[in-house]
Structure 1
Amino acid sequence: MTTTSIHAPTAAEVSSAPAVVFRNTTVLTMDDSHTVIDRGDVLVVGSDVAAVGQQLEVPEGTVEVDGSGGILMPGMIDTHRHMWQTAMRGYGADWTLTQYFVWNYLEHGKKFRPQDYYAGNLLSAIDAIDSGVTTSVDWSHGLASIDHAEAAVDALVEVPGRFVFGYGNIHTAPWEWATAPEFRSFVERRMPRSEMLGFQMAFDVTGDPTFPEKAAFQAARDLDAAVTTHAGVWGATNDSGIRLMHEHGFMTPQTVYVHAATLSDDSYHRIAATGGHASVSAESESSCGQGYPSTWALRRHHIPISLSVDSSVWWSGDGFSAMRSAVNADRAREHHEAHATGDTVTHIGLRAEEVVEWATRGGARALGMDHLVGSIEPGKRADLVLIKNDESPAMFPILNPYGHVVFQAQRGDIHTVLVNGNLVKYDGHLVGTDLSKARAAITETVDYLRSTLGDQEWKAGMHPEIPESKVLDNPYSYTDYADSSTHSI
């Protein structure tokens, strides 16, 4: 059967069609065999991928999207994004990690109201789907009240993306907020564990030998919630925390270790042995000091890798930047290690194909969603990204599609995005989202913060002074534990 559309369809036609077929494009399926189909077709019926191949027969009424000259890939998956901080996009461009701790935990971050969390999450969620990131973990670690959490989730459900809400509260000890009745009530009311809105608990382990975080892990187990934790972060979390988690039986295949940048081989062995996953934010780690981006070490220990953008208060909010920074850091380290012993790398260990895997299937596996998303296969949900820009001189020729995705393409080259079969971007324009509403909410938040801080403090926040030394040993205001491991005395 033939398609009903012979012209370039409009967004309304694509959105209302009973089926959509992408024609004559390079398909990166990211299936187990990493099948690449030249001049391939992908048929979407409802929320699912119905068929993948060439010159597909399609049902009556199917609308055709011409993918020639482009690349169709699975939607990217971000396993760690502090979405609320997008309200302050770019504000901390010159921060160190220590200065971020001061801003977020001790000073400015405390001033965010629930409506400011809503504004940041709304903009960040729209930002994600616009850039082809169809699934994002909202690592929401400043939820000073249930009202903050309500506002954060309100924003997520308003945007037609796929999200996982990582509940956290850096202002209160995790063993307190995780065991509070109001937290459990919130989870029961707002966390349906649906395909479109998942749930994690987000907290860190300081290494205190009394292991007070045990109660938070037990709460997560009672709620059947995965834990995502900043692990291997210079000045905050290191090997002692991993050891405590392991000795108490709280390292599971569902645990996601964010950054994992300053760990010993012993810790990496524990993560690998328990089937955990890492979330690497190389643009972040390279810039602010968590430790050298860890993919080079994770690969040696065969720990599954996913990627994240971390925070737009500093860095880019798109998966292309996450892939590019990860591969660059990994290769730089490989060359550096070889040069230190007088050797020369002649065959690079990390290939672009593997980095695209991290950005798609890696994220799906980390979130326990590999049966749903992360690859283009019949029966999986249609979370798809068409990279196609006939106006861009950087979009031809496409010779190595994996290399093109990692090193050549950018968010401005995204033509079409589907999430769960629903059109959310088409012909380079967002569909079904109200960007003006997000702009108005962000403007109100910025005006509020600027007036609350005052002009002097507002400007100083972008160029903060060296903070008190306590933060170097322990950035967590809810505990006095410190181990003095981050600087010489």
Structure 2
Amino acid sequence: MQPGRPILFRNATVLSMDPAIGVLEGGDVLVRGERIEQVGRELPAPDDAEVIDATGGILMPGMIDTHRHMWQTALRGFGADWTLTQYFVFYYLNWGKIFRPEDIHAGNLLSAIESLDAGVTTTLDWSHGLQTVEHGDAAVEALRSVPGRFVLAYGNLLGAPWEWSNSADFRSFVDRNFGSRDDMLGLQMAFDVTGEAAFPEKGAFEAARELDLRVTTHAGVWGATTDESIRLMWEHGFMTPGVTYVHASTLSPDSYQRIAASGGSVSIATESEQSAGQGYPTSWQLRKYGIPASLSMDTSVWWSGDLFSAMRATLSADRSREHLEAQTGSETVVHNQLRAEHVVEWATMGGARALGLDDVIGSLTPGKKADIVLVKNDRSPTMFPILHPYGHIVFQAGRGDVHTVLVNGKVVKYQHELVGIDLAKARSAVTATVEYAQREIGPQEWHSCMNPEIQQTDVIPNPYTYSDYQGEGVAVKSDS
């Protein structure tokens, strides 16, 4: 496709995520430059337009991931069998310190490409591997080299946030990389609140306020961040609409009320919460208190990097909790409260609101930036019929069905192939990081970290023992 020409998507099922437009069957979307110009039916094609036949496909806004530790993608899948404790031991206590700036760059590069391939056009990089500003520079360089939309949430898991956020090096980093701000690469601060009575994190919040930066923080994580963290933030006046609370799975009603009252939002990472143990995925709580939500994948050191998985897991976990609560009281759920449309909204407009970009992206609205995903796969038997388009996105489609991706009006994926992206370069960089990590950690420790020991548990004796069989597939109880 020739760059610079208008692009017309023709004859799609359009999920605009704009209440004023709704769902359009047989809809068209015209993109000119960086922006969406028109949404409607049978739009006239400009003479120089590139026309993309979207028949049989679903056109939707680019998805938005509000919490991903992108640097950890260099060790993709390494922690598949970890608990949260094993994650903390590996990165926080033992091996997080070995990652060099070039390793941060490699992980970010691969993760950024992975996002675009899956139709995630905006990703917040919860970048807590930035031990030095050189690590931060490497993270920025990687994100700027990929034609996606990103937010760097600067963090340092090995440093005190009230110290690094007020250091001359960090202030120089901000001036150097974010002296002029744009919506293609934003900046936030990423740190957690321990709940210590002295509230040392106050200095970090003050730095964020001085620099006019949003804050993203892991909250309500079982055994790590508690209601005390929320109370301290509230009493010191740092709970604002510019704070995103990641997970928020194990908080009290009072803490949820404070988040709701302050206008903050929660990033739900359901696959992570279900598997690692932060607490039960919190969508069922957020609905009670009217707290805005967005979705995230957390880290590819464990899980996938696409929001199809996040939407599916979140809807399933929410409904599972509803059934469990009802059946505990000998009742039956007859109406699902959380619908497919809701989780698609969280994956698009919910993410845009959490990042303060809802007037820029998140819906197919004329005038907004053209971050657009076409889900279409004529080779797939699961892509027809499309009867319930929201349900189709959540339960039927997947990253392999992402046909075309636009970011800021630029085609970055077309006909299922990435455009203008050097995947070989990312593979080479990640290979070098893996080889380096293996040498530093050592073969025995590498194997034991990747394959943590299974603790033996007692097996309940089964009184129904069978030793003799009569006839094919028929069991007879032994006389003994």
Residue ranges of structure 1 left out of the alignment (5+ in a row): 1-11, 468-489
| TM-superposed deviation, 1:463 | 2.6
**Aligned pairs for 1:117-128 within 5 A:** 117-128=104-115
Describe how 1:277-356 pairs up with structure 2 within 5 A. 277-356=265-344
Separation in 2 of the partners of 1:17 and 1:363? 28
Q: 1:316, 1:156 → 2: CA distance?
A: 19
The structure with the larger Rg is 2
| Matched residue SS, 1:230 | strand
2-structure distance, mates of 1:116, 1:430: 23
In 1, distance between residues paired with 2:329 and 2:25? 42
Match of 1:447 in 2: 435
What displacement does 1:33 show? 4.4
Q: Secondary structure at the match of 2:370?
A: coil
SS at 2:368's partner residue?
Answer: coil
User: TM-score under structure 1 normalisation?
Assistant: 0.92
Deviation at 1:365, TM superposition (A): 0.4
Residue pairs, 1:419-434, within 5 angstroms: 419-434=407-422
Residues 405-416 of structure 1: pairs in structure 2 closer than 5 A: 405-416=393-404
> Is structure 2 residue 120 aligned with structure 1 residue 157?
no
Pair 1:228 & 2:216 matched:
yes
Cα distance in 1 between the residues matched to 2:330 and 2:133: 57
- Counterpart of 2:241? 253
Residue-pair matches, total: 454
Corresponding residue SS for 1:290: coil
Compute the displacement of 1:460 (Å). Answer: 1.0
Deviations along 1:107-166, whole A, 9 cap, x unmatched?
A: 122111110000000000000011000000000012111111110111000000000000
- The residue number in structure 1 matching 2:161 is 174
CA positional deviation for 1:17: 4.6
* Map of 1:49 onto structure 2: 36
Measure, in 2, the Cα distance between the counterparts of 1:223 and 1:465: 45
Q: CA RMSD in A?
A: 1.1
**1:365-400 deviation digits (Å, cap 9, x = unpaired):** 010000000000100000000000000001011000
Q: Is the 8 A contact 2:4 2:33 kept in 1?
A: no
SS at structure 1 position matched to 2:245: strand
Q: Residue type matched to 1:301 in 2? A: Y
CA distance in 1 between counterparts of 2:283 and 2:142 reads 32
CA deviation after TM superposition for structure 1 residue 464, in Å: 3.6
Matches within 5 A, 1:337-376: 337-376=325-364
Q: Distance in 2 between matches of 1:466 and 1:153?
A: 39
AA at the equivalent of 2:319: R
Say which SS state the counterpart of residue 107 (structure 1) adopts: helix
1:4-403 map, 5 Å: 12-13=1-2, 16-33=3-20, 35-191=22-178, 192-403=180-391
* Percent identity of paired positions between Structure 1 and Structure 2: 63
CA distance in 2, matches of 1:240, 1:438: 42
Contact 2:81 2:452 in 1 (8 A): no
For residues 252-277 of structure 1, the C-alpha deviation after alignment (integer angstroms, 9 at most, x for no partner) is: 00100000000000000000000001
Q: CA deviation at 1:431?
A: 0.5
Rounded to whole Å, the distance in 2 between the matches of 1:17 and 1:227 is 36
Aligned residues of 2:119 and 2:399 also touching (Cα < 8 A): yes
1:437 matches 2:425: yes
Equivalent-residue separation in structure 1 for 2:117 and 2:96 (angstroms) = 26
- CA distance, structure 2, for counterparts of residue 153 and residue 325 of structure 1: 31
Is contact 1:17-1:61 (8 Å) kept? no
Residue 465 of structure 1: how far off its partner (Å): 5.9
Deviations 1:211-254 (A, max 9, x none): 00000000000000000000000111010000000000000001
Q: Structure 2: give runs of 5+ residues left out of the alignment.
A: 456-480
Question: CA contact under 8 A between 1:416 and 1:427: conserved in structure 2?
Answer: yes
Contact 1:261 1:294 in 2 (8 A): yes
What is the match of residue 481 of structure 1? none
> Does the Cα contact within 8 Å between 1:52 and 1:377 map onto a contact in 2?
yes
Q: For 2:441 and 2:296, how far apart are their aligned partners in 1?
A: 30
After superposition, residues 463-474 of structure 1 pair within 5 angstroms as 463-464=451-452
- 1:103 is matched by which residue type in structure 2? F
Q: In structure 2, what is the Cα distance between the partners aligned to 1:154 and 1:350?
A: 39
Cα distance in 1 for residues equivalent to 2:209 and 2:422: 38
Distance (whole Å) between structure 1 residues aligned to residue 83 and residue 248 of structure 2? 18
**2:25 match: secondary structure:** strand
Give the Cα separation in 2 of the matches to 1:128 and 1:235: 31
Structure 1 residues 261 and 357: alpha-carbon distance in aligned structure 2, compared to 1, 3 A threshold: same
Superimposed CA distance per residue, residues 316-366 of structure 1 (whole angstroms, 9 cap, x where no aligned partner): 100100111111111100110001111100001100000100000000001
Q: For the residues of structure 2 that align with 1:17 and 1:200, how far apart are their CA atoms?
A: 32
